[in-house]
Amino acid sequence: MVMSELIDELGSLLDEVGLTVRFGLRAQGHIPTIKRMLEDGETWRTIGETIGWCPDTARQHWGWHVEETVRT
């Protein structure tokens, strides 16, 4: 089976049980948590542990969120 077929199969299984996979800080509801933690002086390591993300990935996605917010 190729990767795209596996992804399609996983998507079908998730649909059958009524689950939705959400990607991104906003989709997962992490924006308010990160904002509060940053205001409290928390490190990206602590933020990553709290939201269940790799700290570097969380920081990168936060940067994208901030850039997007500034543009709009």
Sequence ranges of the domains in the chain = 24-72
**SS3 for 40?**
coil
CA distance 51 to 25: 9
- Length reported for the chain: 72
Tell me, yes or no, if the pTM score tops 0.85. Answer: no
pLDDT digits (tens, 9 = 90+) for 1-53: 688 888 889 889 999 999 887 789 999 999 999 999 999 999 999 999 999 99
55, 44 contact by CB (below 8 A):
yes
Q: In the numeric block, which tokens belong to residue 60?
A: 């990168």
How many other C-beta atoms can be found within 10 angstroms of the C-beta atom of residue 36? 11
pLDDT at 31: 97
